[in-house]
């Protein structure tokens, strides 16, 4: 008997109630506060694995039960009795065919909920803590579903996990409202829709809590949306060579859903170096119904590409910035435009991504601002080669403080193998003044900011003749944004390759967009200067008068 994991008596009202969680925000906040009570003596990374593993287990069990009810309903509609339908309810293929995992009985949430205080010893079974039961559930789930092998955490029976609080958290998840209509009128058709949001919310909260390390697995949603809205991945293969927890893929799925497109129209490919982050990504994709190809295990993209010879239609990535220690080989075929320096992998990432693109493929990659102008280690020569090969389509300078994990200013490189009518040009967008502060340490781009960046790019990409042809043939629905492109001082500029060459191949948007035009208020400049000068002198005079009054009053006080 394991004394360390005995379940102590439970106290009432130890966890927040979900009874008052009337909105999605309330529900997520309540669950987070409850989960936060479990932290105890665990380090941040282990705590993250415990909580997100529990969310995943709840998801697969709910999805299984939803599918089970659907199978039964189909059988009854076909005239079968519940007894006759029983074999079909135990047919694993009936679940896998619908994209649900097969969940063995001891891995189902109902079983865990009934034993949230731990299992009392019987003639047939020994005593077990709730942590041991959750570990067993994870093992059963992976054993029944080969795609999950090596993905799920089995650390719930660790001495650092407070078994009482773990049991309370299981109780809370059991009573939380994951389906139906919430009090604020929000319709929730599937439990997994809610749990998907909870998973993403928890990922963001963990990233904030872990600070710099949180940036290894989480990219701010507004940054991801810039890439997705510009690239518009409607169909084809979508790839991320440093996929973190899979945020790029999830946002691509949301983009498709928001446009009424089929999420199954894209195939997901990714790779991740960190084992725990790779596991998070596998769970994240599963919760969102995405069958991603993330390789049989985690691995270094530079040392071994897990998806060789697979041409990608879209690449979206936020690889780690300025890596100094990376698997560099000078004779790598990917370094078509120059060997990246040993002390910085930025141009290794860019060239790897270019090597993965199909002939009509395009990519967006988040980079440190230094990548746009650095000349150290041969980076200037590589950048010149990329420009001359006409691979760079758009450069976007983003505002500061978008990443809580780093103060390094960032930009987005958009590259394409075929730029179509815009061959020989590069669009520069300076978005440094966009965004709003979420709190004292973090900024976010608004929907309007993201739409402005994306619509500017799409308007630029389509020449006036193309716009006229599209509108004439009614090939697309009318859009509210501008359909023709024009340079806007201080915001965007379309530069020729010759202009970029004259600028020493620097790709910093600020060098090209210039300063924003001052607003014309109709007052002639000479008259405005005279008026402002007069007002300034009047203020000087008033200041002198007030100073004299103050001095007189101080003298009276002294007297």
**Tens-digit pLDDT profile for residues 135-172:** 999 999 999 999 898 899 999 999 889 999 899 889 88
Instruction: Tell me the residue ranges of DSSP E strands in 15-87.
Output: none
Q: CA-CA distance, 101 to 291, in Å (whole number)?
A: 12
Q: CA-CA distance, 362 to 354, in Å (whole number)?
A: 8
pLDDT digit string, tens, across residues 467-526: 443 444 444 444 444 578 999 999 999 999 999 999 999 999 999 998 776 555 667 777
Beta bridge partners of 430: 397
Please state, for a pLDDT cut of 70, what percent of the chain lies above it: 87
The token duo for 158 is 């660790």
Question: Using CA of residue 160, residue 161, residue 165, residue 169, what is the dihedral sign?
Answer: positive
Residue 375 has pLDDT above 60, yes or no: yes
pLDDT digit string, tens, across residues 223-250: 999 999 999 999 999 999 999 999 999 9
pLDDT digit string, tens, across residues 26-65: 878 888 887 887 877 677 778 888 888 998 999 899 889 9
Q: Give, as one character, the DSSP assignment of residue 420.
A: G
On whether the pTM is more than 0.85, the answer is no
Angstrom CA distances, 285 to 243, 251, 259, 454, stand at: 11, 11, 20, 26
Q: Give, as one character, the DSSP assignment of residue 398.
A: P
Residue 287 has pLDDT above 90, yes or no: no
Please tell me which residue, 75 or 479, carries the higher pLDDT value. Answer: 75
């Amino acid at each position: 008997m394991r004394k360390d994991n005995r379940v102590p008596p439970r106290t009432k009202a130890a966890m927040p109630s979900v009874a008052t969680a009337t909105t999605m925000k309330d529900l997520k906040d309540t669950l987070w506060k409850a989960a936060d009570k479990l932290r105890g003596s665990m380090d941040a990374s282990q705590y993250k694995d415990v909580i997100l593993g529990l969310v995943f287990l709840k998801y697969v069990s709910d999805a299984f039960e939803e599918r089970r009810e659907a199978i039964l309903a189909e059988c009854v509609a076909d005239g079968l009795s519940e007894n006759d339908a029983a074999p079909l309810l135990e047919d694993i293929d009936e679940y896998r065919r619908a994209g649900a995992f097969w969940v063995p009985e001891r891995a189902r949430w109902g079983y865990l909920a009934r034993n949230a205080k731990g299992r009392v010893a019987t003639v047939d079974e020994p005593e077990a803590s709730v942590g041991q039961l959750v570990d067993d559930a994870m093992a059963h789930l992976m054993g029944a579903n080969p795609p999950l092998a090596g993905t799920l955490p089995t650390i719930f029976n660790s001495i650092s996990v407070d078994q009482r609080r773990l049991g309370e958290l299981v109780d809370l998840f059991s009573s939380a409202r994951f389906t139906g209509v919430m009090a604020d009128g929000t319709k929730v058709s599937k439990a997994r829709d809610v749990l998907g949001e909870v998973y993403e919310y928890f990922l963001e909260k963990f990233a904030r809590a872990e600070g710099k390390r949180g940036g290894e697995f989480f990219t701010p949603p507004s940054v991801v949306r810039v890439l997705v809205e510009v690239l518009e991945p409607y169909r084809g293969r979508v790839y991320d060579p440093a996929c973190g927890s899979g945020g790029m893929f999830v946002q691509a799925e949301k983009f498709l859903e928001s446009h009424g497109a089929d999420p199954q129209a894209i195939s997901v490919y990714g790779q991740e170096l960190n084992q725990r982050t790779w596991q998070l990504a596998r769970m994240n994709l599963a919760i969102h119904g995405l069958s991603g190809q993330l390789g049989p295990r985690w691995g270094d993209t530079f040392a071994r590409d897990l998806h060789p010879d697979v041409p990608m239609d879209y690449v979206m990535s936020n690889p780690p910035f300025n890596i100094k220690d990376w698997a560099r080989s000078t004779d790598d075929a990917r370094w078509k435009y120059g060997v990246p320096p040993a002390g910085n992998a930025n141009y290794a990432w860019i060239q790897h991504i270019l090597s993965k693109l199909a002939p009509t493929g395009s990519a967006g990659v988040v980079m440190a601002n230094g990548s746009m102008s650095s000349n150290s280690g041969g980076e200037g020569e590589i950048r010149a080669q990329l420009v001359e090969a006409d691979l760079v389509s758009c450069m976007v300078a983003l505002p500061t403080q978008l990443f809580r994990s780093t103060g390094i200013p960032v930009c987005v490189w958009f590259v394409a193998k075929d730029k179509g009518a815009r061959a020989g040009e590069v669009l520069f967008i300076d978005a440094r003044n966009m965004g709003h502060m979420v709190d004292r340490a973090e900024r976010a781009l608004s929907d309007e900011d993201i739409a402005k960046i994306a619509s500017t790019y799409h308007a630029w990409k389509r020449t006036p003749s193309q716009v006229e042809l599209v509108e004439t043939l009614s090939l697309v629905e009318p859009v509210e944004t501008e359909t023709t492109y024009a340079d806007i001082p201080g915001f965007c500029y379309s530069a020729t390759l010759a202009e970029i060459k004259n600028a020493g191949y620097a790709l910093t948007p600020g060098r090209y967009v210039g300063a924003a035009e001052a607003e014309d208020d109709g007052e002639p400049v000479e008259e405005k200067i005279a008026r402002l000068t007069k007002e300034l002198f009047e203020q000087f005079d008033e200041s002198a008068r007030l100073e004299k009054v103050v001095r007189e009053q101080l003298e009276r006080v002294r007297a």
